[in-house]
Structure formats: C-alpha cells, structure tokens
Structure 1
C-alpha cells in the first residue's frame, strides 16, 4: 500500500488528465485526479423537468467535483464491496486523487464495456439478448442486496469473457438527493437509455419483454418506470429522425418504455 500511495502522490504532480491508465509491476492501474466541480447550473433544466412531471427518479445527481468526488468514489466502492458487488480495488487514496486497480488485472480476465460488447453482437440477436438479460440480472442482484449504482450507463458496466459483471464510475451518490426506491428506478432508466439503441426497432419489444419479466419482482419500481415512459410518450410524435443518431436513440428509448408499459397492460 505504501508503494501505491507514493506512486499516487508522485503521479498527481504531473498528470494533466482527469483519469489516466498506468502499467506498474503489479499490473494496470487507473489514477483519477480531483477535477473542478461541475457547474450546478447545468442540472437546473433537468431539475425543473423532474419537478414539473413529478418524477423524482430523474432528479439530477450533481457531481461535486474536487476532493468531494474522490471521497464519494471511495465511499461508494466500499459500500458496494461490502454487499459483494464487483468494483475496482482501491490501491491508494488522497484528497487530490484515487488509485484504482484495473478490473481486467483484478479479475485476471480481459474486460469490455457492456456498450462495446452489445455493439459487437450487431448481427447476433440471440447473443445480444442474452448479454442484455445477464446484465439485467447483475443490476437486479445489486438491488436485492440493498445497493444501487451511481451512473448505470452501459459504458460503466464491464463484462469479462465468463460473463461476470463489474461496475465503475462512482463520483456521484444518487442517495444524497433520492430515496432508495428512486435510486432503483434511476438505475433502470439509465440502463434503458444506454442500451435500447443497440436494438433495431423491430427488436425493442422482445428486449423490453425481458426487462418486464425481471421487474415483476419489483412492481412499484416497474410502475414508476412506466410513469416516466408515459410522460415521455409525446416524443414519439416528433420527427426526431431529423436530428440524426441522437434523435433515433431518444426515439428507441421512449419506444422501449412504451413496450415495457404495454407488456403489463396485456390481460
């Protein structure tokens, strides 16, 4: 630990990037450096939307930046580790930065972002649906332990060759502004928003059916996710295709949410 602490203190002096990978004798590590606090004004529009539509789950979770974000990262990693959730090992910590073991080195297995893995399954719909399903099960396992993620985007979910899942990026703590219930809803919304676009329009109903079946165990969470979807349904009336890929992503997310709601309405 002392060697890692010395490396952290030394590297912090010269590192310009907010996060950078290094290869040490022990393996690959990541150094996250305390950066400037994110301007809270950036979160104002989303905050007002959450209030207008009475959607607590989309209340923005500000990244406080600086030493507060570093301490948050450390605290959240330790919380999840205590629940048996796979997260990076903390090798060294200071107010100015945190040194994390690379999850590939940690697990002794090559890992990829779920985002990348889903993209690689472009022509393998069965493989894509299977990976999508297993990631859902991994998130659900976190919730069953009473835990929640910070930013449950597909890019922050790592998967190895044996389909074991790990989670990264904990500079924010949703529970600082949301109830535990809304933390769960938020996790699923971020997961949907970051994975739905990997499916073709005609595949969205089948993908949403998978999540619907998983959420039968969390009826109130399912209900509140559907509430968000219903209030965003007006997006489908817009010609979002005019704004390119971003518009198509939004359209797929809202359509996924509509299908998710419709599965529960079938008698």
Structure 2
C-alpha cells in the first residue's frame, strides 16, 4: 500500500466534510469523501427553469451519492484524461473516498475558477472577451473528441497563469440519462447560464457573437440551444430583478440566448 492510499484510508474515516484540502509533503491534495448528497432543489434557479419548461438538457443530473458518486468521478476523470483533457490527477481511490492532486500542484502555479477570472476582468473587456473565447474553444475541443463535461458551470472550469484550462467536479454522468448530442447541448447551456452574468447588458450581443462563431461547427447543437432560448424568451419581459442576483442571472441568460438566436439572421443578411 503506497503512502497516498494509506493516507486516504486512514483520513476518510475521520473527515467530517464531504471534501477537504490537506497539505502533504508532495503538495496540496483534496480528499472527497463518499457521502449522501442533498436534494436537487439546491440547484436553483436552474432547476426552477428546467422544471417549469420541461428542459431536460439543463435538468440537474441525479447525484447518487456515496460510493457510486466516487466511482462515477473516478471513471469520468479517466475518460477525459484518455481524450487528453486536463483533469485532476487521481492519487488514490477506495469505496469511501477519492484523493486528488490539487490542480495548482499539477500546473506548478496558481489556478482560479473561470467564474472568478471573468469577474476580475470586468474592467478590461478585451481581456474578458479573450478569456471567454478561449473557454469556448476548450469546450468545443472536448466535444470534437466526443467528450462532454458533467457540470459545465464556470466554477468547475479552472485556468492557470498561462491560461491553460482544466475541469473538475465529475460526481455525475449526464450520459446516464441523456444522448451524447444532448450532453453537448447541456454543456453549452450550463456554460451560458454561468458566464452571461459576468457581462454587462450592452455586451451580451457581442458575447453571443463569439459563441455563435464557434457553434457554426455544431449546427444542430446550435439549433437546439436556440429552441431552449425561444421557450424561455418570455422571461425577459418579467421584472426578475426583484428577486435579486438570481433574477439578474436568469435575465442575462435569457437575453444571451435571444441574441444567440438572432445571430443567424444577422449573419445571413450580411
């Protein structure tokens, strides 16, 4: 039994949190413990939208929790690594937990969530749009290899100081309940939902143009994303700002989807 396996099996029995960081002699690691997961209603407001409009592609995929979630993450990380996608290195695994190397150690430098990076570049629009475009290219690269993510929120996309991308959080497998095509659609919808919020309202048209250009390579995926947008379009007429940041996030997402749909008309007439 190597040191990592021993550390996992002795520590997982006393760890209280479902995930916790530790500093070992080799560097920072994360221990994910098999535990029961909370109900899907925690995935609001996305869950709210999916439920009302029967949009399966954005419905949170059930997390079975316990050892099944650990095994799922183990399998999904290995699947993506075989495609050449950067994910955390697995140091040890058991039925009760998973020990992962911190991505900062892997990249030998600081990493941050795409969510944080986009927010930090709001006062520098050119840099913000450049990062947004790079993130889109990374997801598109995964799709070209017939891969897909589990929860393609910006918080689960990490970048290092050289703008190299990595992906985390694989306790669910959308392929268990969706076709590969719908997994692609789901990736883009979750990405839009978690990134549109970081742009000003007047920037959303330009941001949608960036994604539109990428989706020219995935025409049917583009059409299905636009179908979702059309079904949500009426939300933009509501005063969702009254419900705070969640409402503003929904509003920007719906506007982004509307502008994305309009891009085909604008570009066909030019």
Give the TM-score range, shorter chain.
over 0.9
Q: Which residue of 1 aligns with 2:31?
A: 31
Task: Tell which deviates more after alignment, 55-64 or 167-176.
Answer: 55-64
Aligned partners of 1:38 and 1:62 also within 8 Å:
no
- State the distance in 2 between where 1:113 and 1:97 align: 24
Shift, 1:11, TM fit = 0.8
> Do the aligned partners of residues 129 and 148 (structure 1) sit closer, same or farther apart at CA in structure 2, a change above 3 Å counting?
same
Give the secondary structure class of the aligned counterpart of 1:14.
coil
Length-normalised TM-score, structure 1: 0.95
Shift, 1:110, TM fit = 1.2
Give unpaired runs (5+ residues) of structure 1: none
Give the secondary structure class of the aligned counterpart of 2:250.
helix
Q: Which residue of 2 aligns with 1:7?
A: 7
Length-normalised TM-score, structure 2: 0.94
Shift, 1:59, TM fit = 3.6
Q: Which residue of 2 aligns with 1:22?
A: 22
Shift, 1:70, TM fit = 0.3
> Do the aligned partners of residues 194 and 50 (structure 1) sit closer, same or farther apart at CA in structure 2, a change above 3 Å counting?
closer
- State the distance in 2 between where 1:24 and 1:138 align: 31
Any idea what the Cα deviations from partners look like across 1:165-218, whole Å, max 9, x if unmatched? 000000000000000000000000000000001000000000010000000000
Runs of 4+ in 1 over 2 A off after TM superposition: 37-43, 45-56
**What are the residue-to-residue correspondences of 1:1-267 with 2, within 5 Å?**
2-39=2-39, 53=53, 55-266=55-266, 267=269
Aligned partners of 1:85 and 1:166 also within 8 Å:
yes
Give unpaired runs (5+ residues) of structure 2: none
Aligned partners of 1:38 and 1:64 also within 8 Å:
no
Aligned partners of 2:154 and 2:194 also within 8 Å:
yes
- State the distance in 2 between where 1:183 and 1:138 align: 16
- State the distance in 2 between where 1:50 and 1:253 align: 13
Shift, 1:50, TM fit = 5.7
- State the distance in 1 between where 2:137 and 2:196 align: 16
> Do the aligned partners of residues 75 and 243 (structure 1) sit closer, same or farther apart at CA in structure 2, a change above 3 Å counting?
same
Task: Tell which deviates more after alignment, 45-54 or 90-99.
Answer: 45-54
Superposed CA RMSD: 2.0
Shift, 1:53, TM fit = 4.9
Aligned partners of 1:59 and 1:178 also within 8 Å:
no
Aligned partners of 1:31 and 1:97 also within 8 Å:
yes
